[in-house]
Structure 1
């Protein structure tokens, strides 16, 4: 790794100087450090040399808002692009905006798809665990299900083993993944960026300015309809989440007097039972009930789920 530390002794430093290094490794990293030697205003040899761009504690105690960061980013882009446009050879504004991620917060179908698949990749492990537990519940492999029951009883009897087992399992996974560790620096992934499947109109919309400079009304209508279709899905998901939250809230709001009274009676009974019953017994009963054999399982929705679905929500009050 080559390091070039430029100790500037004047205000007007030249940043367009050309340097040449002999590269023997394609993974060579060049680190450029810029320092202020505190000697610009006089002979201050006793002061400590400060790194330019070091972050003070004030940035953590009073951080800038997202709007302020965007304003600073826009101003920095204008200053840098104006300065570099006068260099030889001139550097276009689009390059500066790309390097400073100016359009990272703007709408893009391609970037939205990429973020969707990124989240799906992160949640894939949780989905696998849920599918595996569903196979345990349905007794697809009785031998593995019995082993899970035994392991569950061991955790109930010795609860201090839960965290140690989890961390040991994570350690074993990390050790096993050491063989397939990345051996090359990260690079631009076309498939991850969804650039190989992006349509021409999607790319044209992404590279469009804000406000738009598109003059064709038909293209704008098509983009607007596509955006409405995507927003409708998001709106549906948000509406479902709000409905479920309102149903939980209405358990205690007496919006449905019979449902609230029944829920309060069940809470009182559960409070008494949980007070007189040891916690290990409660956890054991709940675990065995969840993993019971399909012969003792009803295909219809459970009573708590059916009760929750019948609770009122504020969807009828919406226009």
Structure 2
């Protein structure tokens, strides 16, 4: 459907040079449209009144007016020298006159002291980076009140979003936001600390003594890092053996402390602590290669009340443990389907960079209002790739905001996904009372993008709910995977770029010592919590609900729609697999449509039989040259396509991010389809019993199809397994080898090599062309044999 497809747009990106640069933009802000702002930097004011400064002392307030927008320093805190050091930003096209008024805030009506006007077209200069910043100057304020003589230190200029003050400016559309909340509207970059696994392996305990020496302790070990607590199973023994791994997630500085406690499980209401041990993460063994840390013995200090009284022992036993920070793993904080990074914690294990991912966030259109809201969205965008997060500024009360901000990331692996989320800022008018509401997300796989091509489009923000699939607006993006220029014309620029498609996707430890999928899911939840804690300590913080929504996993709950879609995919594959040979066979053997092929095969057959010396010479002597020529041809074609891709010649392929038909979402007016979608989101306990009965009957009908299809596929795979086991038998292999070698050796020794070649070619021609007199519409001998191979279907009841 057209409303769910990516729409092509043609924005006027900055840095273009027209015909001098046919490949497009070249500047550092080349993926966004230039936006001109009128910047006013207000630093401080000075009172030069000749009268008594005590009686004429005032609380200065600067009000800046441009058209219908007005900003002031009324709520801004003043520094120790009476300075504001605040930059205000206005849209250039708002009005023709900029008015800067100085008022006295000691009076209720803010008495006007004086005003300075600037003509926007004539009096204000322009500044384009990398030009130096405008130097502030003192402006005398013509006083309308007798006795006042004030001067204002400020600077005024025209700039773009490339200006350094853009990230700290107070924009005119956010003038209604209080000064204490204005920081939540600014664009920011967040660098989340890298994450590392902390592995505490509890091997065994030795000479453990309970607080009550008259009983054998029933001991389990608990380990605590920050707010996460894990424990082993309890074992009743003085020398228990656990051999159990407790894995935590820690952030980059690794300055935490693991607290290990031994607990005696008894009949009391609370377990008794019989020993404690604390160790810092920095003191643990740093494992940077696949393998385990060394096993060491640790003395455990007594914990709790010791009986009998007066016992002077300094330890409660020993623990045999492996304490290590596994820095050779990649910690998944995203689900595997949408992962944006596969690097290990240790920097020495990182692969070389392939290029730069550059994203221009242009704007959005059609953002709906929130429920029970009278104003439009206060929208901002969060982009996440790797451990670098980018947040645009908040455009207040606008359903079609324009951001035009550009961000870049290093690419270490092309098979990754960029995630962008649009959110409604609820923190600019309330103090942490409401969460930022998500509008929707867009995910772009980098594997679909060609190097050095600019993809500009309007991407629909799709949300699937009970009512079906709908769009909550569109976000306009310009995306490019920039690759550095090659050293030579046709060859890759680096060894990392050339070997990138063939290297391991994950670090080696994931293959040498794999972590189970359920454990990865549990650790992913811990990693999300650590990221929330780290990003919440920034200023302004990236809120927890935003981080959790950006890192939310793929929904794997039961869905009738997904079940049918997956069955259709399997049907399509097996249909293609079963008909591929038949279609190819029919094309070759057709007697009506393939007369040239018949003639070609006939000529080749005659040449092979009538000119055996020439045939043998062609096969033996020209085979290496033909192979080399074919390899060179393929290499040249690959390099030409690579050169075209790197230089941006030719139209880029369409970027398809979502297939409505494949997801079975094209029939939104079908009652059954809408009920299947509602079934994904409904809680079972809240559904009408009649609806549940209808859904259960439908599930049984679809389950029967899945059962039959999966059973047939399992039977075929079991026959393949039986054939493999049959072929791996020593006797059968020996018999097959002798049966194949006997005619070959017979023809070779009693006739000649030419006769052997002719025999092979003859068999191939007769088998492939399948002349009319040789045709049988019956299964071949191999098919009959394969059909008779055993499977486990007869064992099913």
Question: Which TM-score band (shorter chain)?
Answer: 0.5 to 0.7
TM-score (norm: length of structure 2): 0.28
Superposed CA deviations along residues 204-255 of structure 1, whole A, max 9, x for unmatched, are 233356xx556534145225404521233212221233245436646898xx
For 1:147, the equivalent position in structure 2 comes to 600
Q: Is contact 1:138–1:294 with CA below 8 Å preserved after alignment?
A: no
What displacement does 1:312 show?
A: 5.4
Matches of residues 231-270 of structure 1 in structure 2 within 5 Å? 231-243=707-719, 245-246=721-722, 249=725, 268-270=738-740
Matches of residues 1-319 of structure 1 in structure 2 within 5 Å? 1=31, 6=189, 18=393, 21-22=403-404, 26-29=476-479, 58-59=509-510, 61-75=512-526, 96=548, 100-103=552-555, 105-115=556-566, 120=572, 131-139=583-591, 140-147=593-600, 157=619, 159-160=623-624, 161=626, 165=630, 168=633, 171=637, 182-197=652-667, 199-208=673-682, 213=685, 215=687, 216=689, 217-229=692-704, 230-243=706-719, 245-246=721-722, 249=725, 268-277=738-747, 280-281=757-758, 283-291=760-768, 292-310=770-788, 315-319=793-797
Q: Is contact 1:81–1:96 with CA below 8 Å preserved after alignment?
A: yes
C-alpha distance 184-110 of structure 1, shift in aligned 2 (>3 A): same
- Determine the C-alpha separation between the residues in 1 that align with 2:553 and 2:598: 50
- Determine the C-alpha separation between the residues in 1 that align with 2:560 and 2:651: 32
Which structure features the higher share of strand residues?
A: 2
Secondary structure of the equivalent of 2:587? helix
C-alpha distance 5-167 of structure 1, shift in aligned 2 (>3 A): farther
Q: Is contact 1:243–1:313 with CA below 8 Å preserved after alignment?
A: yes
C-alpha distance 306-108 of structure 1, shift in aligned 2 (>3 A): same
Secondary structure of the equivalent of 1:28? strand
Q: Is contact 1:208–1:214 with CA below 8 Å preserved after alignment?
A: yes
- Determine the C-alpha separation between the residues in 1 that align with 2:694 and 2:762: 61
What displacement does 1:189 show?
A: 2.8
- Determine the C-alpha separation between the residues in 2 that align with 1:264 and 1:181: 57
- Determine the C-alpha separation between the residues in 2 that align with 1:118 and 1:127: 15
- Determine the C-alpha separation between the residues in 1 that align with 2:507 and 2:725: 44
- Determine the C-alpha separation between the residues in 2 that align with 1:164 and 1:96: 55
Q: Is contact 1:74–1:102 with CA below 8 Å preserved after alignment?
A: no
Query: Which structure exhibits the higher relative contact order, with contacts defined as CA atoms closer than 8 Å and separated by 6 or more residues?
Result: 1
Q: Is contact 1:247–1:313 with CA below 8 Å preserved after alignment?
A: no
Q: Is contact 1:110–1:194 with CA below 8 Å preserved after alignment?
A: yes
What displacement does 1:196 show?
A: 1.0
Q: Is contact 1:73–1:102 with CA below 8 Å preserved after alignment?
A: no
- Determine the C-alpha separation between the residues in 2 that align with 1:76 and 1:128: 46
Superposed CA deviations along residues 184-212 of structure 1, whole A, max 9, x for unmatched, are 54333322322114712321233356xx5
- Determine the C-alpha separation between the residues in 1 that align with 2:390 and 2:720: 58
C-alpha distance 295-228 of structure 1, shift in aligned 2 (>3 A): same
C-alpha distance 60-227 of structure 1, shift in aligned 2 (>3 A): same
- Determine the C-alpha separation between the residues in 1 that align with 2:595 and 2:531: 66
Secondary structure of the equivalent of 1:22? strand
C-alpha distance 302-7 of structure 1, shift in aligned 2 (>3 A): closer
Count of residue pairs brought into register by the alignment: 280
For 2:244, the equivalent position in structure 1 comes to none
Look at both structures and tell me which one has the larger radius of gyration over its CA atoms.
2
What displacement does 1:67 show?
A: 2.1
What displacement does 1:285 show?
A: 3.5
For 1:52, the equivalent position in structure 2 comes to none
Q: Is contact 1:250–1:312 with CA below 8 Å preserved after alignment?
A: no
What displacement does 1:115 show?
A: 4.6
What displacement does 1:129 show?
A: 7.0
C-alpha distance 128-305 of structure 1, shift in aligned 2 (>3 A): closer
Superposed CA deviations along residues 81-105 of structure 1, whole A, max 9, x for unmatched, are 9999xx99x9979x956863331x4
C-alpha distance 194-145 of structure 1, shift in aligned 2 (>3 A): farther
- Determine the C-alpha separation between the residues in 2 that align with 1:238 and 1:294: 36
Structure 2 gaps of 5+ residues are 1-30, 33-161, 163-186, 194-250, 252-388, 396-402, 407-455, 457-475, 482-505, 609-614, 748-752
CA RMSD of aligned residues (A): 5.6
Q: Is contact 1:73–1:100 with CA below 8 Å preserved after alignment?
A: no
Structure 1 gaps of 5+ residues are 32-54, 254-259
What displacement does 1:116 show?
A: 5.4
What displacement does 1:287 show?
A: 1.6
- Determine the C-alpha separation between the residues in 2 that align with 1:285 and 1:302: 19
What displacement does 1:144 show?
A: 2.0
Q: Is contact 1:108–1:205 with CA below 8 Å preserved after alignment?
A: yes
Which structure features the higher share of helix residues?
A: 1
Secondary structure of the equivalent of 2:478? coil
